Every structure is written in C-alpha cells, then in structure tokens.
Structure 1
Amino acid sequence: MKKIYGNKQLLDTLAGMASSGRTAHSLLICGEKGSGRKLMARYYTQSLMCEAPVGGKPCGVCNACTNIEKGIHPDVIFPEKTGKLNNFSVKEARDVIADAYVKPNNSSGCKVYIFEDCHNVDTRTQNALLKLIEEPPDYAYFIFTCGSKSEFLPTIISRCVCFTTSPVTEEEAAQSLAESGFEPDDIRRAVDCFHGCIGMCEQYITDEELRKRVDLTKALADSIIKKDEYALNVGFFSLGRERDDVREVLSMLDKLVRDAAVLGKDINGQTIGCFREGAVRLSELIIPSQAARIHSCIEKSWGAVESNVSIPLVLTALCAEIMDIIG
C-alpha cells in the first residue's frame, strides 16, 4: 500500500472509526485536486474491508486491500459519469439504488460506492440518492470526493460525515515523488509549480498536457503584466473549448492573482500558484483591490462557462475586463 504523507489527524480519525466499529456509512472527502481525497477514499474502503486490520488501519497486503489498491474489488463500485457535462446522471443514481440492495459476497460483508470528483452534480441526482444515503442497508457505504462540500445540497451534507484533506509540505512532497522514482530535476520543477499537492506534482511530471496548461497560464500572466491585450486574447483563444481545460487554467491564473495580492503586502509571503516569479512582477503592477476584482471576474467567467455560455465569448469578455482593471 502506498505511503500516505500528511493528513495525520484525518488518518487517525478514520482508523479510530474503524477500530471502534462506529464507521460512517456516508462520507464526504473534500480537498483541492491532487491533495489526496481519492487516496483517503481508498484508505477508508480498505479499513472497512481489510481481512487483518491493525488498530483500525488496513494491513495493505491481504486480498481485499490488494484488490482495492488495484481497483478490481467486485464490491467496490465507482459510479460512472456520462453526458456532455460529464456528470452523475439520475439514471446512474437509480442504478446505484437498485444495486445497493444486492448483498455483497465477501468476508467483510461491506459494499462501497465511491463517487469521485463530484462537481456541479445535478440536484435531481442528489435528491434521488438522498433516501438511500439517509437509510442505507447495513452493509452499504457511500464516499463522495469533491473540491468543496458546497457542491452538495444541505440535505446531503447533513447526512454525511465531512472531512477535508490538505496539501503536505514541499519537503514531504519531494520525498514522496523521490520514492516513486522520479528524477530530481523533474521533482524540483513539479514542486515549484504545485508545492505540497503531491497528486498534481505527479501529474505535472507524467502528463505533457498539464505542462502545456501550466505554460499557457504563465503566458497569460506575462500578457497581463505587459498589458498586451492582443496576446492575452490569443492565449485565451488557444485554450480551446474543453471545460476541464478552461477550469484548470482559470484556477491556476486565479491562484497567481491571489499570490500577487499576498506578495504586494509581503514580498516573502507564501505562494500557492504555479509561477512565483510572475506573481512577483504582477504584484508590482496591481494593488490588492485590483487583484480582488480580477478574482471576481475569473469566478464570474467560470460560472458563465458552467451555465453553458460560449467559452470563446466568455474568455473574450474576461480579457477585456482584466485589461480594464489594470488600466
């Protein structure tokens, strides 16, 4: 079983729940992408189904733990996302409801459903699942991973035990990446961009497309710093029409603007974005109130994209708004 860095309090809480027999049937695990929320979901599942747990912690070597690690355990189900918005449909919810009343066939007597990366889940889907989450069969468990619990209806949140993951230190991230066999130069570049977010660091090293999105974010920042509206428009246009790409780049740009506001008050402040050098230069151009206005514009733009407004139109408007703010 892969070593888990950080999140000690969360790990201890999950182990305590398992060892005491007071396991929660519905869990909400929140945290930024790459912070270990899926890893925690798998860990809790192993705690529930492990054949030889020690103090509520999974052994990591039994058949159940091994099969969960490999993603092949027959009683650990990952509901599928479908449709244009790539989300959990009402039909999928109904399929889960029907399947949840089929008893598991394993020594632990547990059946676990893991809904990964929940974002903007249709309220009809949530309402369809509500009764099942409220009164589940004794053997059924439901785990939802997401960026924030605000993604869910209050009625769902009130029926779940909610936990939050957090990034580790940059030193711990580097150590984890080294243990995975990555090269020192790759580790340094990844940690410079994504700090203690191990999952994103790993993806940066292995995924060329993510590296391209990081480079695009840096180019967008340079365009803002130079007040080059044409280059900013070209950069946004090159982003394309894929929602996930747009969300990721806007999120990285938003963090960079946040860093500029922090550095404007304290040049030695801690940054969370992928381009500290750019944030330093941007902090010399804008004041915190301008950074706050840009953040609001980025947030509004993503909301428009989520509402199915034309992506090129949204990004063109965002470019104009940013240029107006920085003068």
Structure 2
Amino acid sequence: MAGFSSIIGHEQIKEHLQNAISMDKVSHAYIFNGPAQSGKMMLAKSFAMALQCQQKGTEGCMACHSCRQALSDNHPDIIYLQHEKPNTISVDDIRRQINSDIAVMPYASTYKIYIIDEAEKMNQQAQNALLKTIEEPPAYAVILLLTANSDVFLPTILSRCITLNVKAVADEKIRSFLMKEYQIPDYKADICTAFAQGNVGKAIQLAGSEDFNEIKNSALQLLKRIKEIELYEMMEAIKQISNYKLEINDYFDIMTIWYRDVLLYKATSDANHLIFRDEVYNIKKQASKSSYEGIENIIKALDKAKQRLNANVNFELVMELLLLTMKEN
C-alpha cells in the first residue's frame, strides 16, 4: 500500500480528502461506498496515513516513523475493526473495539482513526451503538466506514457521515496500468479490463490469476464448438462447467463478451476493437453463421441464466436450457 499518488482513478475523492486535510476541515466520519475491490481500502489507508504523517502534508511521505507504521498496518492510532463472525459485525465488536477505546487519547498522533471494513455487516444494534459515538466523538477521532451497500445504514448514521461513492475507473486507465505494472500483453490487458468493469482491484486479480485463464480457456473451447456439439455431449459439457460453480459469473461474462465480439464483427467486419482479437478466425466463422437476432437471443439467455442461478434454480437445468439456446441460435 502506498499513498494517494499510487491509486488509479478516483480523482474527485482524492481531491476531496486532500482538500479536507489542507483546509483543516476533516470530518469525524466518512462512508466509502462502492463494490468489492473497487479501491475503498486503498483510499481509506492513504487518507489515514496522510492524516498521521509527521510531515503534515496532504500525502503520506512514506519515510517518517508514522508512515512506516501505517504502511506495515502496525500504527497504534490506526485501528482496524475485527469481527469473529464472518457475516456479522456485532454490538459487542463495536462496543469493545471502538466505544470503549475511543476515549483513550492517541498514542503518538494528531488523530485516532478507526477503519471498519465491510461495514454493511453491522447489525442494527451495532449501528445504534456506533451512532452514539458518531454523534459525540472526541475531536481527534475519525471513523471510516467501508461498505458495498450504504443503503443498509440507519438514516441517522448516513446524515452524520460524509459519503464518498467509489465509482468505476475508465477502461483505458486500467488497461495502461496493467500493461505497465504487470507487463502483460495488450490482448490480455483488454480481457482483464473488460471483465473488471471499472474495478481496478478485480483487474489486478484477473491479471495474475491462473484460475481465470483456466476458466477462460474452458469457456472458449466450448463456445468454438457449440454449434457442432451433440445432445448426448451436452451433459458432459455441463458436468465440466459445474467445476466452475463458484466462478460461474466469470464464466458467463466470458461467454457474453465472446458473443458481443461476434455481434460487433458481424456489424463492422473490423477486428481491431474485439476483446478476443486472438480468436478472430473463430469469431469471424461464428459471425458468418449467426443472425443478429440469434446472437442477441444468446446474450439475453446468458443474462437470464445469471438471474435464475441467483434465484437458486437447479444448476444443471439452467445450464441445459442455456446451452440449447446457444446451439439453436
């Protein structure tokens, strides 16, 4: 973890936080709201480090004792809330780690900063306990709530915090970052960027993931022969796909991007803007054999399959209906 300057995108949030530091208008509570891996923790850590930096700038210097402690997640005045139950932050967690601790002055810094990750997991009693602290915090306290869904917070908590919505980062920024920092070829950067949908953390994860490459290769192998597959082979294909149940949304996303490439090539005959440019021969072949309506039917069927699995419809049945639709179209 480094400072604000190392964070890709999120310029408005970085500017807001740095202005708050420079103008000495730091709020006692912030909500960082955005999807998993979208950069919430990096923003929170960079903010905390800058607030505690002994150089008193708007960016952590990385060199002072305080910054070195922050970089190693070992700063006595930057506290990360822990919770034993994986899906719940309880009232005891809040009382023991925040309410009982916040009255103690900072050990060596200007601020005492509490970072609550996955804050949407606070139950109502925990939120009410935290509210009492947010309503009357000590002057040195800063509470950072990181969440994928701020809608679950009590209106009284929302009204007493500054909410910063962590938005998608532009594809070109993510693509350039992956190629520069991870030294991956442009076609792989395109694929990771397309799947990340503006989420830098997910793009980084995909860039270094062998599992993702395995899923991609499995999906593409099926897609390239879907037209010729016999009905008796379909059950074997479904059995193979079931190996990726936990990553089935990634599997569906690969398929969706493939068919969008087929649709794009059919409409433009231009391979330059394809995500799977290295598969142009097979994309061209499918585009010539498919109608616009057929491709759009498949893309709709993929979206429908996602919805059905989210509603706990039988996995094998969903996949059978999907593969039949793909074969017919």
| TM-score using structure 2 length | 0.70
- Pairing 1:40–2:43 present: yes
Return the letter of the residue paired with 2:166.
T
CA distance in 2, matches of 1:255, 1:222: 13
Could you tell me how far 1:250 is from its partner in structure 2?
A: 1.9
Question: For residues 120 and 106 of structure 1, do their structure 2 counterparts lie closer, same or farther at Cα, with a shift above 3 Å needed?
Answer: closer
Moved more, 280-289 or 164-173: 280-289
Which residue is equivalent to 2:310? 302
Equivalenced residue count is 305
Q: CA deviation at 1:28?
A: 2.0
The question of whether the paired residues in 2 share the 8 Å contact of 1:118 and 1:151 is answered with: no
| Greater mean alpha carbon deviation, residues 37-46 or residues 188-197 | 188-197
1:48-67 matches, within 5 Å, as: 48-54=51-57, 56-67=58-69
Q: What are structure 1's unaligned runs of at least 5 residues?
A: 241-245, 269-273, 305-312
Aligned partner (choices 200, 204, 207) of residue 202 of structure 1: 204
- Retained in 2: the 8 A contact 1:117–1:147? yes
Is contact 1:52-1:59 (8 Å) kept? yes
Q: Does 1:16 align with 2:24?
A: no
Q: 237, 241, 261: which one pairs with 2:242?
A: 237
Residue 176 of structure 1: how far off its partner (Å): 3.4
Counterpart contact for 1:109–1:139, Cα < 8 Å:
yes
Q: Does the aligned pair in 2 maintain the 1:115–1:145 contact within 8 Å?
A: yes
Q: Give the Å deviation of 1:13.
A: 0.9
Give deviations 1:222-257, integer Å, cap 9, x for gaps.
Answer: 7988887525632452135xxxxx3x5426635864
C-alpha distance 175-288 of structure 1, shift in aligned 2 (>3 A): closer
Name the CA shift for 1:192/1:110 in 2 (closer, same or farther; >3 Å). same
- Residues 69-121 of structure 1: CA deviation (Å, up to 9, x unaligned): 221112222222434xx233313233233444342434433222222245665
RMSD: 4.2
- Structure 1 contact 219–235 (Cα < 8 Å) conserved: no
**How far apart in 1 are the matches of 2:217 and 2:54?**
46
What is the percent sequence identity of the aligned residues? 21
1:220–1:164 distance in 2 versus 1, CA, 3 Å: farther
Q: Which residue of 2 aligns with 1:137?
A: 138
| 8 Å Cα contact 2:53-2:67 kept in structure 1 | yes
The amino acid that maps onto 1:319 is: M
Match of 2:79 among 77, 80, 83: 77
After TM superposition, give the deviation of residue 128 of structure 1 in Å: 4.1
AA aligned to 1:250 is N
Q: How is 1:1-327 mapped onto 2 (pairs within 5 angstroms)? A: 1=2, 3-54=6-57, 56-83=58-85, 86-90=86-90, 91-118=92-119, 122-150=123-151, 152-177=153-178, 180=181, 182-185=182-185, 188-195=187-194, 197-215=199-217, 229-231=234-236, 233-239=238-244, 246=246, 249-250=248-249, 253=252, 257=256, 286=294, 291=299, 294-295=302-303, 297-299=305-307, 301-302=309-310, 304=312, 314-320=314-320, 322=322
Work out the CA distance in 2 between the residues paired with 1:147 and 1:223: 39
Q: Distance in 1 between matches of 2:222 and 2:39?
A: 28
Q: Give the AA of the match of 2:306.
A: I
CA distance in 2, matches of 1:286, 1:253: 17
* TM-score, normalisation: structure 1: 0.70
